[in-house]
Amino acid sequence: MDERIWERPQWLDTAVFYEIYPQSFQDSNADGIGDIQGIISRLDYIQQLGCNALWINPCFDSSFKDAGYDVRNYCKVAERYGTNDDLVELFEQAHSKGIRVLLDLVPGHTSEEHAWFEASKQAERNEYSDRYIWTNSAFEGYNMPFIGGESDRNGTYILNFFKCQPALNYGFATIDKPWQDGVDSEAAEATRQAMIDVMRFWLSRGCDGFRVDMANSLVKNDGDDKPETIRAWQQMLGVVKSEYPDAAFVSEWGKPEQALRAGFDMDFYLDWRWDGKGNGYNLLARDVVNALDAEHDHSYFSARGGGSITAFLDDYLPQYEATRDKGYFCLITCNHDTPRLAPRLDERERKVALGMLLTMPGVPFVYYGDEIGMCYRDIPTKEGGYARTGSRTPMQWDGRANAGFSEASAQELYLPVDEESDAPCAEEQMSRNDSMWSWVHDVLQLRKNNDALHSGASFDVLSAEPDARSFVYTRSSQRGGESVLVALNPGLESETIALPENLNIAQGSQTPLLALGEAQVTDSALCLGAQSFAVFKLA
């Protein structure tokens, strides 16, 4: 199968996702850890904010050495979160409110405690002996992380990340050792079929699709263009989508041309920073080494340290143009692996930032708590989180003990709640029209009510100068009839942008559909005040 032959689900065009880190969202049974019933109890809040889809980080049985990304049983909910019946109830309750639910699939590795691995490490041959990647000797390694001396089997096994995460066997694109299986081997095919069965298991119970962890890393020794990993996904997603055509799949890949060709409906614009240099998304929102360092932050959204939008566009536009008709390249406010924007960016900077992030093409993803400005915090590691732990703290709901997250004692909480005097909470922010929550809500309402801001609407840059701070673009409905102009200026000085003669602001629409700060338009120019954002209707 060289090219995908299935359509992406139509519901994605109006989808807005809310990512939930389940252990930190809402605790319903006072054990200090969030759970599925807690998520169910907050569905009305998610709907009121303006989100109509969820992405839930791994909630399966796990040894929790990597916070659930070390799966012990793909088809069983972890006891800390509830039961399989609870998860099915979540699907049903969410669907009754028009909310779709994606689960988190970890296809590249399992926990070392998974039953498959327990069988694979036995000395005697069995049906799981080749489910993982083993060398031929306990003293033979490879140019990938490996572990030896842990089993009776005479071999070492390849790891994907932590010691607890043995890599599943999808074969090697290039074979240079006798113990390696090819991508068309029985062993690799058995692994692919096992993952198809996992997806079927949850889709048959009401799940609406999956976010797929490290989707580009399945086949070992694959080329930079990932031809064999793409082929593996085309097979697996081809089978699953033929049975569940309305299911949606988003990849943690970071190269949309590859991911969408593999069969995914969406790919994330990942936050990458290597050797001090960031990709487009990093330059846009997180161009600094220390997540708490506002002074040296040069990201575009930083009012004092930022520069032109052109560095972001140089990275973004080629990827967008290459894939605009093939699927969605998705922007995130943050995620469980990425530092939050606050407190490095202040509230006004974050409002401008989310204004843009939520009106760009693709399907937007809001990380829980970003809508109220929850802060990244420098706290000790938990369950393999390390520097990521600071973005995984409990949701701050109200002024009660533990910010309404849990009735357990503070010492029993999965992670400590932010106890700073100015820590935001949802209840207070929902009561104010000028709050971060209200701003996110209003942007999402505008997006919902305007076809021109839906995921697949076209996107064209109107103004992006290397010596300016402002950025102006248009979005136009694919169905025709609706177009909008989106303009922002994250800087501290006003800027005036000349408008093309053929650009017509709709009659009576000199007043923006939505605005933050000063934004005025005439027949020939647009004036943007400091730290401003605005959306105008076009004729």
pLDDT at 6 over 80: no
Scan for tokens 């049985």, then name that residue.
Answer: 61
pLDDT for 3 equals 56
Instruction: Quickly state the pLDDT bin for 1 (edges 50, 70, 90).
Output: very low
Section 22-41 average pLDDT? 98
Asked if domains 10-106+269-448 and 111-167 share a fold, the reply is no
CATH topology of domain 111-167: Oligo-1,6-glucosidase; domain 2 (3.90.400)
Handedness of CA 215, 264, 46, 435 (dihedral sign): positive
pLDDT for 479 equals 80
Was domain 454-538 assigned CATH 2.60.40.1180? yes
User: What residues does each domain of the chain span?
Assistant: 10-106+269-448, 111-167, 454-538
pLDDT at 509 over 70: no
pLDDT at 11 over 70: yes
383, 65 Cβ separation under 8 angstroms: yes
> What does CATH list as the number for 10-106+269-448?
3.20.20.80
pLDDT at 501 over 90: no
161-180 pLDDT per residue, tens: 999 999 999 999 999 999 99
pLDDT at 510 over 90: no
**3-state class (DSSP) for residue 239:** helix
Phi, psi of 471 (to 5 degrees): -145, 125
SS (H, E, C) 73-118: EEEEECCCCCCHHHHHHHHHHHHHCCCEEEEEECCCECCCCCHHHH
Tell me which residue of 160, 169, 163 sits closest to 147, measured CA to CA.
Answer: 163
pLDDT for 506 equals 64
Beta-strand relationship, 273-274 and 266-268: unpaired
- Where are any strands of DSSP class E within 115-247? 146-147, 157-158, 209-212
pTM above 0.95, yes or no: yes
